[in-house]
Amino acid sequence: MANKSVSNTAGTNRSFIDRMGGQKFIVLILVIVMFIFFCAMSPGFRKYTTVVSILDYSYYIALMAIGVTFPLLTAGVDLSIGTGLICYSLIGGYLIVHQGWPVGAGMLVTVLMGVIFGVINGCLVALMDLPAFLATLCTCMITRGFGAFIVGGYGIPWPTATAPGGWFRSIFKIQVGGQNIPIGFLWIILLVIVMSFVLNHTKMGRYTRAIGSNKEATRLSGVNVKFYHIMAYVICGLFAGLAAIAYSAIFATVQPGSGAGFELDAIGGAIVGGVSMSGAVGSITGTLIGVFVICLLKTGLPFIGLTANWQQIITGFVLIAAVLFDILKRKKEEGR
Amino acid sequence: MNQNKASKQKMGGRKVESIKQIPLVKKVGFNRIVLCIVLLLMYALFCILTGGAFLGTRRILSALNYAYFLGFLSLAVTFVIATGGIDFSIGPVMFCCALMAGFSFTVNGIPMPAALIISLVVGIAFGIFNGYLVAYWNVPSFITSIASMNIAKGLASVFTKTQSVSWPQTGADGGWFRNIVTMGGIPMGLIILLVAAVICAVILNKTKMGRYILSLGSNKEAVRLSGVNVKKWEMSAYILCGLLVGIAAIFYVAAYTTVQPGYGDQYNNEAIAGCVMGGTSMAGGLASISGTIIGVFIISLLQEGIMALGLDKNLQLIITGIIVIVAVFADVVARRRKN
Amino acid sequence: MGEVILTMKGIDKSFPGVHALDHVDLEVRKGEVHALMGENGAGKSTLMKVLTGIYKKDSGTITYEGKEVEFHNTREAQDAGVVIVHQELNMLGHLTVAQNIFIGREFKKGIRIDDKKMNEEAKKLFDRMHIDIDPKETMSRLTVGKQQMCEIAKAISHKAKVIIFDEPSAALTEAEIEELFKIIRDLRDQGLGIVYISHRMDEIKVITDRVTVMRDGAYVGTLITKDSTKDDIINMMVGRVIYEDPKTQNMTPKGSPVVLKVDHLNAGKMVQDVSFELHKGEVLGFSGLMGAGRTETMRALFGADPIDSGDIYVNGKKVTIKSPEDAVKCGIGYLSEDRKRFGIVVQKTVAENTTMADLDEFCNGPFIDKKKECEVAQKFVESLATKTPGVDQLVVNLSGGNQQKVVIAKWLTRNCDILIFDEPTRGIDVGAKNEIYKLMNQLAAEGKAIIMVSSEMTEILRMSDRIVVMCEGKKTGELDISEATQENIMNMATREIN
């Protein structure tokens, strides 16, 4: 009975940080401190274009992270989102560029591909009982091969902003008087609100958390555990599909074979934002804040003279630090 | 009453014997026999599909080149999976070893033996890093390995300033190291791989280390309560894994010369595929070195066959992905039936 | 007491090798608290599992509200109004109280879950029970007692007509038990039928109206609580006056040295200030109810769980035990109550398990001498009469008793002088039990010191030279076998003497 020892710390005497949202609050301060740090260290960082570029990076990572929060909450994981994103984007772009499909239809296919692979992942994990990390590692490789296979190994340039069909790029960025306005951020905020609602106020979200907390007890309560377990991966796939759109809208060309490592940014962001590897604990807003830690690293480090490669190393350590923090926190809660 | 008891015991005895037969046939022989047949059938199939072009030794040697480094990777990950863990940093770490050692040789001009040692040391260092976090801090092994995968990629890129590295050709200064693959027409690589496999099998089945690795993979708590320092032995599996990855790096460059930073993760799945196909259980505690080797040959032959048929090499990724899913699912079903 | 709401008649249930229930009867009326009593393994939980559809009965009838019924799973039973409040709580620690109570049947407003209404309904439930729990509090933050109240609230919310409490007080404090009793009385007064499973004699007297006693899977009888004495009930529970060879005197040789001394050991909540001594050649029994902290004491002593404070002396020398590794070096071996999880590696062979604790002895350098290993394993297979086709047999294929012998062999191989047997005969059939007992006596005669944790009274009285009794993490008594009786042990275990 792990809960016995927690019992005495009941409601009233929670710390200030806990009342402010716990880890989320600390990480928010971290984001602000990091921002100030980079501003102080580099004059180049103190520019409007930098803010835009941070946001540019944040869109697809944030979307992936929102999605992967659901499998993480069930105490699973989805490692296929990074290569999946590229795969879906390649297939959608291939239909638009090489098959002459309208952009809207191509985008729909992109998102749909995400959902399909979400269903596949969900079935592998929930119905076939494969370990989540292994099943999604396989779909990671499969999506990577599949995307490259479809396009024949060549990069796909989605239509540019000025080309016909380029309207989709203005979903995330519009130009007013020569200035880029990053309106994509509004979409992210909107989706965070929607998914927070789903997580906290619908059956879907409630059961996602319940599965992560105690799958067997949830099943015994008469919940269709398999369905909701699959749905967590479907949501993740859907958001990987949306992230694919964001990625295609921001970057000029999508390269087959890339995308490995994106999942680390997203999972790292979620865990830094307070999602527990052991399931059930975490929030969408926390995830979003965590994503900004990663994005600040991505855009900020080059300004202080460290290459993108350093960013990869540091993200690895940040992930381990966040997981260690989570483990120590749980140990403390269990008393010993 | 007494009679009753005796008959019950007899029944128990018979039950025990009947159970005994099944796993012996299934686990020891059956799996590997089937794998060998699959290997032969695949070879025959490729011969027919390529119209005989597959028959010569050229294709076989080329497939073997692939099998060497993959074999070491697969042996490496077998030890980690035997503990009930997983490591998918092995591919990128292998590249990291090859890049750092190669860069030291070509740019910094250190002698070849030192470069080879660097490769091993880098591999072992990553093994220690992964093992320490998993064994002493209880970090889930897949998290440690995705982190170290990215660290390995980043480190290699930083070290080489994102340049690819070409190891010396045969005949060139330091090119003697290629003798480990072929020496005077003898496929040294195959001999070394098989010797290494025998050593690994001995370690796994005949030594204290192997005994503890398999036992703790099966029931870590029971082993701990037997007074065994499980943390030490769990970490040792990761260190051995790192060493074998370092060796794999040498075989990779001996066969393919050039390595590029930022890659290597496609080999994770192939190594794990070889391992799980060979009958090593993802749940830990059950591992077969000979199975792993046959599994590696199947994957290598598949790769060569896809090339020979002029198919898209991306098919390889898809097929190995599906192989792993099927192999692991078979393992899950087998375990479910046992319970 | 009202009309009969539930009748179970002639319930029979067998598992392979065990006749778990032998034509058991039970009758529950509306508005009564009916105690179901018996020693561990008497079949109380099995009977309730048959009732709620977890097990299928072999024969017999269940009549509920005048109709013959058979529930196929807990959910069917719940929907009909028969609800069980488990000893082990089935809860989702990360969700709130109200979310737990209504999991799987949430109130909804469109697609939105109506948490406000759920909180209100939960509040109403708690008001009805006259307890104060915030429905919005996270479950894991509550005390175990409050969590139990939430389980009860969940049961009531199912519109239960019969509620079964399976040892509800096992983990509760005095004050929480008071609160629990108040709620149970309320429920009784509202006309519900309550089945109350417990070991604690004093509770039975306080809360129940009638008592049904079971022994060895059979129905013994039903009494009206207020018309019967505690001794009546204990006599019915124990039944046999003569045990199978009970020890009548301490068999430890006079003046045999103290090999293990535990001084003021503290480890978490379940081990508070425990001290005792163990002599060479002695069997020291540890008695107490479930959750009394006996296993926790042994695990702390063995280094499996961290110690907060206290000293341990082995052969008069103070030792530091921080891990099982240290304990084994001191010559202590531990045989866990849960063999499959903590005792053996089931996927390994008899020989491999036998040498697990002492592999260094079987190694030439890094290599294992398999011949020597097999010889030693074979020797123990013969001396312990382990039934196995061979030492290369996987342990998973052996029966419980023989698995236990493999664990014993493991510690004998290591030559441990102090052996801790935690529930040595749990899950072992009668014939094999006797063999294990004989073996333990033989080991003690050879000069090993043995600690035996057991929940079976007969086992304690049959095997022990001295008996330590624990209750709620504290040592509540120590008896020589010559002065020990069921009654005084039971008294100490239920804290009547303190």
pLDDT tens-digit readout, C244-300: 566 777 888 888 899 999 999 999 888 999 999 999 999 999 998 777 889 999 999
Q: Which range (B148-157, C229-238, C263-272) has the least confidence?
A: C229-238
pLDDT surpassing 80 at residue C471: yes
Chain A residues in contact with C132 (beta carbon < 8 A): none
SS (H, E, C) chain B: CHHHHHHHHHHHHHHHHHHHHHHHHHHHHHHHHHHHHHHHHHHHHHHHHCCCCCCCHHHHHHHHHHHHHHHHHHHHHHHHHHCCCCCCCHHHHHHHHHHHHHHHHHCCCCCHHHHHHHHHHHHHHHHHHHHHHHHHHCCCHHHHHHHHHHHHHHHHHHHHCCCCEECCCCCCCCHHHHHHCCECCECHHHHHHHHHHHHHHHHHHHEHHHHHHHHHHHHHHHHHCCCCCHHHHHHHHHHHHHHHHHHHHHHHHHHHCEECCCCCCHHHHHHHHHHHHCCCCCCCCCCCHHHHHHHHHHHHHHHHHHHHCCCCCHHHHHHHHHHHHHHHHHHHHHHHHHC
Is residue A131 less than 8 Å (CB to CB) from chain B?
A: yes
In this complex, which of C324, C341, C368 lies closest to B207 when CB atoms are compared? C368
Q: What is the pLDDT of residue B189?
A: 92
Interface of A with C in 247-286 (CB under 8 A): 280-281
- CA nearest to C342 within chain B: B222
Chain B residues in contact with C368 (beta carbon < 8 A): 206-208, 211
Q: Is A319 in contact with B266 (Cβ distance < 8 A)?
A: no
pLDDT band at A254 (very low <50, low <70, confident <90, very high): very high
pLDDT surpassing 90 at residue A292: yes
Compute the distance between CA of residue A200 and CA of residue A211 in angstroms, rounded to an integer.
14
Sign, CA torsion A214/A217/A223/A229: positive
Q: Is C134 in contact with A11 (Cβ distance < 8 A)?
A: yes
Q: Is the ipTM of this complex over 0.95?
A: no
Among C14, C298, C348, the residue to mutate for chain B (most B Cβ within 10 A): C348
In this complex, which of C112, C115, C141 lies closest to A11 when CB atoms are compared? C141
Q: Which range (A76-80, B3-7, C21-25, C247-251) has the least confidence?
A: B3-7
Average per-residue pLDDT for chain C = 86
Q: What is the pLDDT of residue B53?
A: 78
Q: What is the pLDDT of residue B19?
A: 40
By CB atoms closer than 10 A (0-12, 13-18, 19+), residue C484 is: buried
Q: What is the pLDDT of residue B20?
A: 41
Q: Give the model confidence (pLDDT) of B201-249 as tens digits.
A: 999 999 999 999 999 999 999 999 999 999 999 999 999 999 999 999 9
Give CA separation, C496 vs A260, A271, C175, C271, C491, in Å.
Answer: 67, 51, 16, 19, 5
In this complex, which of C89, C105, C144 lies closest to A7 when CB atoms are compared? C144
Chain B residues in contact with C324 (beta carbon < 8 A): 224-228
pTM metric for this prediction: 0.85
Chain A residues in contact with C103 (beta carbon < 8 A): 206, 210, 218, 221, 223
Separation of CA C135 from chain center: 31
Pairing of the two strands C283-288 and C466-471: parallel
Q: What is the pLDDT of residue C341?
A: 82
pLDDT surpassing 70 at residue A17: no
Q: Give the model confidence (pLDDT) of C77-93 as tens digits.
A: 888 999 888 766 678 88
Neighbors of chain B with 3 or more C-beta pairs under 8 Å = A, C
Q: Averaged over C316-326, what is the pLDDT?
A: 93
In this complex, which of A142, A312, A319 lies closest to B154 when CB atoms are compared? A312
Is residue A123 less than 8 Å (CB to CB) from chain B?
A: no
Q: Is B228 in contact with C356 (Cβ distance < 8 A)?
A: yes
Interface of B with A in 145-164 (CB under 8 A): 146-151, 153-155, 157-158, 162
Q: How far is B229 from chain C (nearest CA, A)?
A: 7
Contact A218, C102 (CB under 8 A): no
pLDDT surpassing 80 at residue B106: yes
Compute the distance between CA of residue C196 and CA of residue C210 in angstroms, rounded to an integer.
10
Q: What is the pLDDT of residue C429?
A: 62
Contact B266, B255 (CB under 8 A): no
Q: How far is A116 from chain B (nearest CA, A)?
A: 16
Among A7, A215, A218, A278, the residue to mutate for chain C (most C Cβ within 10 A): A7
Q: Which residue has the tokens 């944040």?
A: A58
In this complex, which of C91, C113, C306 lies closest to A336 when CB atoms are compared? C306
In this complex, which of C342, C352, C398 lies closest to B225 when CB atoms are compared? C342
Q: How many Cα atoms within 13 Å fall on the side-chain side of residue A138?
A: 24
Compute the distance between CA of residue B323 and CA of residue B277 in angstroms, rounded to an integer.
8
- What is the SS3 assignment for A56? helix
Is residue C345 less than 8 Å (CB to CB) from chain B?
A: yes
Neighbors of chain C with 3 or more C-beta pairs under 8 Å = A, B
One-letter amino acid for residue B14 of the chain:
R
Q: Averaged over A113-121, what is the pLDDT?
A: 97
pLDDT band at C203 (very low <50, low <70, confident <90, very high): confident
Q: Is B150 in contact with A146 (Cβ distance < 8 A)?
A: no
Q: Give the model confidence (pLDDT) of A85-106 as tens digits.
A: 999 999 999 999 999 999 999 9
Q: What is the pLDDT of residue B33?
A: 84
Q: What is the pLDDT of residue A267?
A: 94
Q: What is the pLDDT of residue B15?
A: 38
pLDDT surpassing 70 at residue B307: yes
Compute the distance between CA of residue C219 and CA of residue B161 in angstroms, rounded to an integer.
82
Residue of B243, B280, B257 lying closest to B86 (CA atoms): B280
Q: Give the model confidence (pLDDT) of C15-63 as tens digits.
A: 765 678 889 999 999 999 999 987 666 788 889 889 988 888 999 999 9
Q: How far is B9 from chain C (nearest CA, A)?
A: 9
In this complex, which of C325, C345, C359 lies closest to B219 when CB atoms are compared? C345
Compute the distance between CA of residue C245 and CA of residue B55 in angstroms, rounded to an integer.
79
Is residue A94 less than 8 Å (CB to CB) from chain B?
A: no
Q: How far is A145 from chain B (nearest CA, A)?
A: 4
Q: How far is A245 from chain B (nearest CA, A)?
A: 23
pLDDT surpassing 80 at residue C481: yes
- What is the SS3 assignment for A99? coil
Q: Is A327 in contact with B133 (Cβ distance < 8 A)?
A: no
Q: Give the model confidence (pLDDT) of B274-305 as tens digits.
A: 999 888 998 888 899 999 999 999 999 999 99
Q: What is the pLDDT of residue C145?
A: 79
